[in-house]
Structure 1
Amino acid sequence: MDSTDPTGPPPARVELTHAAAELLRRLRAEHGPLMFHQSGGCCDGSAPMCFPAGEFRTGDSDVLLAELNVEGCREPVPFWISRSQFAVWSHTRLIVDVVPGRGGGFSLEAPEGVRFLIRSRLVGT
């Protein structure tokens, strides 16, 4: 089925660039199972934070947007987003990328000299 078929599967809400997947494999090898949380509090909401799985407490104010299957990781990487951010980004596909620079101080990639960054595309494009 092609992506314009309304009976087909919905488009992926979150995807990874090759660079993001590679960084996740390295972080998984060092820290064990991982998770993402995307809030609106940092960098206009464009910097998802990566934590060891379960280290960031999610609740009713968060939405599980995707379970990312990363080759080389034994388990999916859950991608959580705050409900308020979900409302803002609800019509977009989020693309997790990696760029040079320091991200959030608590995000696992910070010591690597890079940071995760969200790029977006309207759903259906």
Structure 2
Amino acid sequence: MTVEASVTIPGETFSRVALTGSAVELLDKLWLVHGPLMFHQSGGCCDGSSPMCYPAGEFITAEADILLGVLDISADGPGDDGARLIEFWMSREQFEYWRHTHLTIDVVPGRGSGFSVEAPEGKRFLIRSRLME
């Protein structure tokens, strides 16, 4: 099972971001603890290429960031009244390098960054990428 993000970049007709089933499971658990969530992918020195998951609004985005998609992890999927939507942001500078790739957020064992909410779970989010068609 994968969850594809909605299209958010004007003029595009394809999703740029998805979640694996394992990522959805972990996000469900994290949502119960932290409430609404968001991702940011900076590509900076401290977090490398791991997507960082924060409580929604905790990481302040600005003109230097671009919204790549909104992921719906609601139990009943899109249109569910209890919608659980997760925005996926990336720095514009990083997007210039990755603009030709589709990103899938997966989960692997191990400890990620201390700033990302999954760190205490003994798991970390990981980006798997492929060239867009």
The residue identity in structure 1 corresponding to 2:107 is V
Which is worse superposed, 35-44 or 49-58?
A: 35-44
Q: Which runs of 5+ in 1 are unaligned?
A: 1-8
Which is worse superposed, 37-46 or 74-83?
A: 37-46
Q: Which runs of 5+ in 2 are unaligned?
A: 1-11, 76-81
Q: Which residue of 2 aligns with 1:4?
A: none
Write the distance in 1 (CA, Å) between the matches of 2:107 and 2:84.
21
Aligned length: 116
Q: Which residue of 1 aligns with 2:40?
A: 37
Q: Which residue of 1 aligns with 2:5?
A: none
Quick one: percent identity of the two aligned structures?
61
State the TM-score, normalizing by the size of structure 1. Answer: 0.86
Query: Structure 1, residues 68-110: CA drift from partner, whole Å, max 9, x if none?
Result: 0113373310000001111111000000000111111110000
| Residues 1-125 of structure 1 aligned to structure 2 (within 5 Å) | 10-42=13-45, 45-72=48-75, 74-124=83-133
Aligned-partner SS, 2:43:
coil
Q: CA 1:117–1:43 in structure 2 vs 1: closer, same or farther (change >3 Å)?
A: farther
The ranges of structure 1 where at least 4 consecutive aligned residues each deviate by more than 6 angstroms after the TM superposition are none
The residue identity in structure 2 corresponding to 1:34 is L
**Once superposed, what is the RMSD of the aligned Cα atoms?**
1.7
State the TM-score, normalizing by the size of structure 2. Answer: 0.81
